[in-house]
Amino acid sequence: MNTKSTIRGIEWNPGLAALPFSPIRTMFNEAAKMSDVVHLSIGQPDLPPPPYVIEAFHQALRDGRTRYELDAGMPALRQAIADFYSRRHSVSLDADNVLITTGCCQAMFMALSAAVQPGREVIVIEPAFVLFHIVEMAGGVLRRIVTTADNGYQVDPQEVIDAMNDRTCALLLNSPGNPTGTIYPRETIETICRAAAERGIAVISDEVYDRLILDEPFASALECAPHLDNLIVASSVSKTYSLAGLRLGWAISSKANIVDLQRFHMFISTCENTPTQSAVLAAFQGEQTFVEQMVVEYRRRRDRVVELVAATPHLTGYKPSGAFFVMPSLPVGVDGFDVAMRMLKEVGVCTVPGGTFGNACGNALRLSYSTSMENIEAAFERMIPWLGQQSF
Ligand SMILES: Cc1ncc(COP(=O)(O)O)c(C=O)c1O
């Protein structure tokens, strides 16, 4: 090796440094070194997907569906998604309102990076799923609104409105939410969407858990916004049909917005996986008992987890209405990362520290009940005595 020459590495876009390493990885890496760990950390359904969807995937491959699909997505799939949302939310959508993406993540990534300009602000309601960091990568500024476990992480819409100003370009919604499982009432979403529309602020609504509704009512931003011109709703099949690995999602917006995002999409992934699109079409066309049964099962687990959290020393819980998470808080000032790591090492229960989801929730722990009832019971049998011994 020539040690005399100066070797210069890549000069990355400085925005890259805004993306943190997720504490979820740190927890998982530590857990992987151990032999006896009960996970309350999993962020995807633990149930096997509907067999007819898997068969449709195989059939698509046998039929030779391995070529590029149209860049905005398979027309029949775009139509099926438009029809489904139109029926479910009493809105009028057609195929041109839908763009097929690589999961909800890509739809969110595109919406955020297309909307954010350096120095412009994006409102995020914390705790929030990690995708909001894309704002900082794109040079935007986060306006963080804090919600807490003691009122079930509900947000006061007036606080969101008060955070809007001339520099605000977008706001993020996520109901039901990860990490909280919180569903916002219709009035909250309506008030926020109306105020955003009046000010020309984009509402980017992550509705990836929109079918995991444990307690009705659930209102999609599609029903609450005055029009689609400043709304983008993102979702996917990852949670609804337990198909996270197929990486298929969509963005829904006005036709003009979809054309703009379609141009961007061409430069990211050209088009989405062709056999997957056939499988997802089958998922939408088939009977939906899988989803109904999944909701019944998660509701049963949620009810038990709420009881167990209430019986656990130092935790302040609440009853989440959707998804498969609850995020109880520890006393103010307690470091959730330290607690999660010690609990993992000392009694083998893996949770996710609240600080993963924003600056203001560092004293919380995200618990996922996307695991068997046996695992849930086993985890709390370890957690309850261990937390009881802590003097915070
Ligand atoms: C709130 C939220 N949005 C988006 C995603 C990613 O979804 P997808 O697998 O469809 O990209 C997740 C995954 O955990 C999530 O919790």
Question: How much is the pLDDT for 140?
Answer: 97
pLDDT digits over 137-177, tens only? 999 999 999 999 999 999 999 999 999 999 999 999 999 99
| Cα–Cα distance for residue pair 297/301, rounded to 1 Å | 6
Which amino acid would we find at residue 126?
E
Diameter over CA atoms, the chain: 69
Within the chain, which residue ranges are assigned CATH 3.90.1150.10? 15-48+290-387
Whole-Å CA distances, 255 to 31, 160, 230, 377: 46, 27, 11, 48
Q: Is the CB of residue 129 below 6 angstroms from any atom belonging to ligand 1? A: yes
Question: How much is the pLDDT for 4?
Answer: 64
Q: How far is the CA of 72 from the centre of ligand 1 (A)?
A: 20
Q: Is the CB of residue 272 below 6 angstroms from any atom belonging to ligand 1? A: no
CB count, 10 Å around CB of 269? 15
Question: How much is the pLDDT for 363?
Answer: 97
Q: In percent, how much of the chain has pLDDT > 90?
A: 95
Average pLDDT value for residue range 316-337: 98
Q: Is the CB of residue 244 below 6 angstroms from any atom belonging to ligand 1? A: yes
| Cα–Cα distance for residue pair 136/126, rounded to 1 Å | 15
Question: How much is the pLDDT for 2?
Answer: 56
Return the H-helix or E-strand segment holding 204: strand 202-206
Average pLDDT value for residue range 321-329: 98
Closest ligand 1 atom to residue 106 Cα is 11
Q: Is the CB of residue 105 below 6 angstroms from any atom belonging to ligand 1? A: yes
pLDDT band at 342 (very low <50, low <70, confident <90, very high): very high
Domain 67-285 sits in CATH at 3.40.640.10
pLDDT digits over 52-76, tens only? 999 999 999 999 999 999 999 999 9
Average pLDDT value for residue range 77-104: 98
Average pLDDT value for residue range 228-242: 98
Q: Is the CB of residue 174 below 6 angstroms from any atom belonging to ligand 1? A: yes
CB 48 within 8 A of CB 242: yes
Give bridge partners of residue 98 from the DSSP assignment.
Answer: 252
Question: How much is the pLDDT for 21?
Answer: 87
| Cα–Cα distance for residue pair 366/376, rounded to 1 Å | 14
Domain 15-48+290-387 classification at class level: alpha beta
- Which of 110, 112, 129 for mutating ligand 1's site (highest number of atoms within 8 Å of CB)? 129
Within the chain, which residue ranges are assigned CATH 3.40.640.10? 67-285
Q: How far is the CA of 2 from the centre of ligand 1 (A)?
A: 46
Q: How far is the CA of 374 from the centre of ligand 1 (A)?
A: 26
250: exposed, middle or buried (C-beta count within 10 Å: 0-12, 13-18, 19+)? buried
Q: Is the CB of residue 352 below 6 angstroms from any atom belonging to ligand 1? A: no
